[in-house]
Amino acid sequence: MTSKMRWKIVLVVVVLIWAAWRASYTFSFFSLSEEQKAATPAEQLEALENKSLNLGLDLQGGMHLVLEVDKEGLPADQASDVMERALEVIGNRIDQFGVAEPSIQREGDDRIIVQLPGLQDEQRAKRLIGRTALLEFVPVETPDQTDLTIRAIDRALRDTLAAHGELPPEPAEGMPLSEAEQMARERPFSSRIRFSMQIPFFLEEDVEWAEEQLARLDLDAILPLDPDDPTRPRVRLGWDKETRTLQDEKEYRAFYVLAADALMTGSVVISADIRPGLDPDYPNAPGVSMRLTRAGGRVFAEHTGNHIGEYVALVLDGVVHSAPVIRSRIPAGTPASITGNFSDEEARDTTILLRAGKLPAPMTIVEERTVGPSLGRDSVTQGIRAMLIGGLLVVIFMLIYYKAAGAVAVGALAGNLLLIVALMSSLPVSPKPALTLPGLAGIILTIGMAVDANVLIFERIREELRNQKTIRAAIRDGYERAFTTILDANVTTLIAAAVLLRFGTGPIKGFAVTLSLGILASMFTAIVATRVVFDLITVKWNVKHLSI
Amino acid sequence: MEFLVGTKFNFLGHRRAAFILSVVLIVAGAISLLAHGGPRLGIDFQGGILMQVQFEQPIPAQDIRDALANVGLADSEIQHFGGDREAIIRVGEEAGGEDVTDEIMGALNDAHPGNPAEVRRVELVGPKVGSELRNRATLAILYALVGILIYISLRFEFKFAVGAVAALVHDVLITLGVFSLLGLEVTLPVVAALLTIVGYSLNDTIVIYDRIREDRRKMYGKSFVDIVNTSLNESLSRTIVTSVTTLVVVICLFAFGGEVIRDFAFALMIGVIVGTYSSLYVASPLVVEWQVHAEARRRRR
């Protein structure tokens, strides 16, 4: 045995042991049942998962979103870092959502790719991520204006109801209406309102009714007009995001009459943090401290100075998230604080809101691919079934057609599959390549194509044997002659795979990855490893007849 | 066991007949493509929304259509998918924005409260992304062809490269033609399959070219036609064995791999068959044609 051969044996054995060892993580991870997973300590499970093969979203179920940030119309200073902020905003929103291993990546100039594995509620995620974050600071109208507005709605609604015959009946002779009926006739809207701290509230069960009634009215024609610009109303309406329990222990939702024009948008917020002890009335409650830009600070200082005791609402996409009261003038340059009887969670939500609102550009979902967990599971089962049946047929064919040599090729095929799994689970690239459904198809295709190298070699050896060469010479020449052919043939397939890697998206990339790894691995297993086996057999046992 | 060894098929003798067959196949596909205004593009390439929905019990497509008509989506395309409990609903992009999946599920569950539906898959592609993907797919195929042309020109002679690329274009055109004739959609995975066909068919072609290169040295003095015929015969058993093993796994993928990947597997199936044929009857015969004409011209001078 030559020393070159000895080295080759060592190389093949080491590579195959490494592949088996790496691939074993994947097999042990995926053979865990749900109960076993639950019983394993989280850290241990995570370590195992990190070392095993990544499943693509189309196999494990999940959501793939591509968002586009509309930069048009942004001032240059904002456009420069709008993508960084958009990434942060989306990151924040996804954190709120609590998905296990989200991935958020920037793509190109104006796109962001979000991947949420194992996601269950497609609609909720889309609403949360895809919405336009427009945060505004909007003054809540004075009680006078609120009153005027609500009375205007009352009048209009009474006319509308009367026109549709939906008002309670007129008082009949001798049958005076009860006070409640009288109110419902005269003030159909405000009769359902209860005021608290000068803010109107609706019972939670009345909210839907109120929304429906408001939708019937032409609000632009009803609401008090802007004295400076009589073509539009000076107020707008906004519901609170949360319900509140008032003294009578019932759930109410606040109905705000807001100024039509926002004081400023969320883009003036530089930072927002949770700080304890900001409010002497609630020394243990967390507060939110926010720093504003210079321009924002000036606007805020002027407004807070002139409107002490009034409310300012934090409005995100038309919904009021909170409406703190102005305690004192907040001078420009000093941090503003938002305090109250906050829970930790409320304080955290408010900071998220203030930060999220920094995104002044709308985002739209331009591409979505969601696969439900059940379909992903089906795909894995069916893919593996196709692989087993196809693999088995190929194995049977190789054993019949090439006998013992066929068995060597089958061994090489098994080594090839191990190597693909091992390489895919340990490639030091980020993000780690994932096994997708087309990728699984690529592996199945590799089974068919990987034996090709051995077919080429075996056919050559047979030819050489027919030319009366000795077994060892036939093997040597068979391998040598087949090698250039295999190389040429594989390079062209690799060109196609490289193009797919460059131009493909998501699942298609997964296909290109498994296809190229399969080809590269087959160059090793089908050429180097099988050669070692043949050489060993012929040198050690000095065989007279080659079963091929 | 061995078969197809020592064969003496006269592949090149039939090359004109084979050219006619290829042309007929390509023209048939081209007529269908022209009649339909190009390949039937999936939402990947033209934008739109596709939803795969599974019901608890079997449901006729008409019931789904009626339910969708309630929310103004009567124009959606509905198709059963791998059984009568599951359906694919396709909605044009203009029919609704991001909330359309919400609307569809609402409409289905309102109309058939006793037969709840589950979302199995959603694919939404905006029109801009659709046209981008279309450009990218076209570019990908072009780049792959150019890359291969360059590689083969380097490794062989230019006329071989032309023969190989002509065979690839032949394979891609016939596969697209079959898809058009059967009314199947061209999606991203199908384009990936086309590129794989390109790689695979080339694999076959190159093995034969390699043999021609070798036999040309060995059979010095013989006519080019004889050399190529010998090479085709010598590599025939390998060509068939590899095609069979590949075809076997692709058929398994088609039969057992599931509905989602069926069109992809089908494209591969056509491609493997056509690719094997074109390696034998298109790529090398074209090189022979070229060589014969070049020799004839030289003699005339």
- pLDDT digits 0-9 by tens, A33-86: 888 888 888 888 888 888 888 888 888 888 888 988 887 766 676 676 677 777
List the single range of A73-87, A151-165, A474-488 with lowest mean pLDDT.
A73-87
Identify the band that residue B30 occupies on the pLDDT scale cut at 50, 70 and 90: very high
Burial class (CB in 10 A: 0-12, 13-18, 19+), B16: exposed
pLDDT value of residue A360? 59
| Pairwise CA distance, residues A199 & A254, whole Å | 7
CB-side exposure of A528: number of CA atoms within 13 Å? 21
**Residues B158 and B16 grouped into a single domain:** yes
Q: Chain-wide mean pLDDT for chain B?
A: 88
Say if B62 falls within a structural domain: yes
| Pairwise CA distance, residues A271 & A273, whole Å | 7
The structure tokens listed for B217 are: 């040295």
Q: Is the pLDDT of residue B95 over 60?
A: no
Spacing of C-alpha A367 from chain mean position: 12
List the single range of B95-104, B157-166, B291-300 with lowest mean pLDDT.
B95-104
pLDDT value of residue A400? 93
Residue at which a domain ends, from B88, B110, B125: B125
Q: Are A323 and A313 in contact (CB under 8 A)?
A: yes
Instruction: Write out pLDDT tens, residues B71-92.
Output: 878 778 888 888 889 999 988 7
| Pairwise CA distance, residues A426 & B147, whole Å | 30
Q: Is the pLDDT of residue B93 over 80?
A: no
Fill in the amino acid letter for A79.
Answer: A
Chain B residues touching A369 at Cβ < 8 A: 121-124
Say if B271 falls within a structural domain: yes
Q: Say what percent of chain A tops pLDDT 70.
A: 92
Give the residue-averaged pLDDT of A282-286: 80
CATH value at residue B58: 3.30.70.3400
ipTM value, please give it: 0.88
CB-side exposure of A62: number of CA atoms within 13 Å? 21
Give the residue-averaged pLDDT of A78-97: 71
B118 vs A372, A490, A508: nearest CB: A372
**Residues B145 and B116 grouped into a single domain:** no
pLDDT value of residue A130? 62
B260 vs A374, A379, A403: nearest CB: A379
**Residues B174 and B104 grouped into a single domain:** no
Overall size of chain B counted in residues: 301
| Pairwise CA distance, residues A113 & A90, whole Å | 10
pLDDT value of residue A244? 86
| Pairwise CA distance, residues A471 & A494, whole Å | 33
CATH value at residue B277: 1.20.1640.10
Say if B248 falls within a structural domain: yes
Give the residue-averaged pLDDT of A378-382: 89
> pLDDT: is B195 or B283 the higher one?
B283
**Residues B178 and B73 grouped into a single domain:** no
Q: Is the pLDDT of residue B176 over 90?
A: yes
Instruction: Write out pLDDT tens, residues A397-447.
Output: 999 999 999 999 999 999 999 999 999 998 887 677 888 888 888 888 788
Which helix (DSSP H) or strand (DSSP E) does residue A411 occupy? helix A373-426
pLDDT value of residue A167? 77
In the block, tokens 């046992």 appear at A541
The structure tokens listed for B78 are: 């509905």
Q: Do B261 and A447 lie within an 8 Å CB cutoff?
A: no
Chain A residues touching B252 at Cβ < 8 A: 386-387, 389-390, 393, 444
Nearest to residue B288, comparing CAs of B163, B165, B151?
B163
pLDDT value of residue A423? 93
Residue at which a domain ends, from B63, B91, B125: B125
A496 vs B101, B128, B144: nearest CB: B144
Spacing of C-alpha B207 from chain mean position: 21
Which helix (DSSP H) or strand (DSSP E) does residue B234 occupy? helix B224-234
A108 touches chain B (CB under 8 A): no
Fill in the amino acid letter for A123.
Answer: Q
Provide the pairing of β-strand A286-292 with A269-276.
antiparallel
Q: CA dist A109 to A69, A134, B102, Å?
A: 9, 22, 30
Q: Chain-wide mean pLDDT for chain A?
A: 85
Largest separation between any pair of C-alpha atoms in chain A: 126
A496 touches chain B (CB under 8 A): yes
**Residues B76 and B18 grouped into a single domain:** no
Q: Give me the domain span that covers residue B230.
A: 12-42+129-300
Q: Do B238 and A374 lie within an 8 Å CB cutoff?
A: no
Identify the band that residue A103 occupies on the pLDDT scale cut at 50, 70 and 90: confident
pLDDT value of residue A15? 95
Q: Can you give the C-alpha Rg of chain B in angstroms?
A: 24
Say if B3 falls within a structural domain: no
Say if B280 falls within a structural domain: yes
In the block, tokens 């093993």 appear at B245
Q: Is the pLDDT of residue A546 over 60?
A: yes
pLDDT value of residue A73? 67
Q: Is the pLDDT of residue A502 over 80?
A: yes
Identify the band that residue B281 occupies on the pLDDT scale cut at 50, 70 and 90: very high
CB interface of A with B, residues 114-143, below 8 Å: 122-123, 126, 130
**Residues B166 and B195 grouped into a single domain:** yes
CB interface of A with B, residues 41-100, below 8 Å: 58, 66, 68
> pLDDT: is A242 or A82 the higher one?
A242
Q: Are A530 and A412 in contact (CB under 8 A)?
A: yes
- Beta partners for A434? A54
How many A/B residue pairs have CB atoms within 8 Å?
Answer: 226
**Residues B118 and B133 grouped into a single domain:** no
Q: Do B257 and A386 lie within an 8 Å CB cutoff?
A: yes
Say if B1 falls within a structural domain: no
Say if B4 falls within a structural domain: no
**Residues B137 and B284 grouped into a single domain:** yes
CA angle B49, B52, B53 (to 5 degrees): 125
Q: How many domains does chain B have?
A: 2
CB interface of A with B, residues 456-485, below 8 Å: 456, 459, 462-463, 481, 484-485
pLDDT value of residue A445? 78
Nearest to residue A254, comparing CAs of A268, A244, A267?
A244
Identify the band that residue A517 occupies on the pLDDT scale cut at 50, 70 and 90: very high
Which helix (DSSP H) or strand (DSSP E) does residue B229 occupy? helix B224-234
Q: Are A237 and A257 in contact (CB under 8 A)?
A: yes
DSSP letter, residue A361: S
Q: Is the pLDDT of residue B23 over 90?
A: yes
Nearest to residue A143, comparing CAs of A320, A310, A370?
A310
**Residues B90 and B111 grouped into a single domain:** yes
Q: Which of B151, B249, B272 to mutate to probe the A interface, most A CBs <10 Å?
A: B249
Residue at which a domain ends, from B105, B125, B145: B125
Which helix (DSSP H) or strand (DSSP E) does residue B23 occupy? helix B15-35
Q: CA dist A268 to A504, B98, B102, Å?
A: 40, 30, 35
List, in order, residues 6 or more apart from A161 with CB less than 8 Å away: A167, A188
Q: Do A383 and B101 lie within an 8 Å CB cutoff?
A: no
pLDDT value of residue A416? 93
pLDDT value of residue A132? 58
Chain A residues touching B55 at Cβ < 8 A: none
Cis amide bond preceding A431, omega within 30: yes
Give the residue-averaged pLDDT of B10-31: 93
List of domains in chain A: 3-20+372-541 (1.20.1640.10), 62-133+364-369 (3.30.70.3400)
List the single range of A278-287, A366-375, B88-97 with lowest mean pLDDT.
B88-97
| Pairwise CA distance, residues B192 & B105, whole Å | 31
**Residues B195 and B76 grouped into a single domain:** no
Among chain B residues, the shortest Cα distance to A393 is held by B248
Fill in the amino acid letter for A112.
Answer: I
List, in order, residues 6 or more apart from A95 with CB less than 8 Å away: none
Q: Is the pLDDT of residue A96 over 80?
A: no
| Pairwise CA distance, residues B158 & B168, whole Å | 15
**Residues B229 and B286 grouped into a single domain:** yes
The structure tokens listed for A406 are: 């066929």
Q: Is the pLDDT of residue B17 over 70?
A: yes
**Residues B81 and B183 grouped into a single domain:** no
Q: Which of A59, A385, A445 to mutate to probe the B interface, most B CBs <10 Å?
A: A445
Give the residue-averaged pLDDT of B124-141: 86
Give the residue-averaged pLDDT of A302-327: 86
The number of beta carbons lying within 10 Å of the beta carbon of residue A343 is 10
The number of beta carbons lying within 10 Å of the beta carbon of residue A281 is 9
Nearest to residue B166, comparing CAs of B290, B297, B70?
B290
Quote the strand ranges of chain B, DSSP E.
48-55, 77-80, 86-91, 117-125
pLDDT value of residue A14? 95
Q: Do B249 and A448 lie within an 8 Å CB cutoff?
A: yes
List, in order, residues 6 or more apart from A186 with CB less than 8 Å away: A154, A158
Q: Is the pLDDT of residue B288 over 80?
A: yes
Say if B60 falls within a structural domain: yes
pLDDT value of residue B110? 85
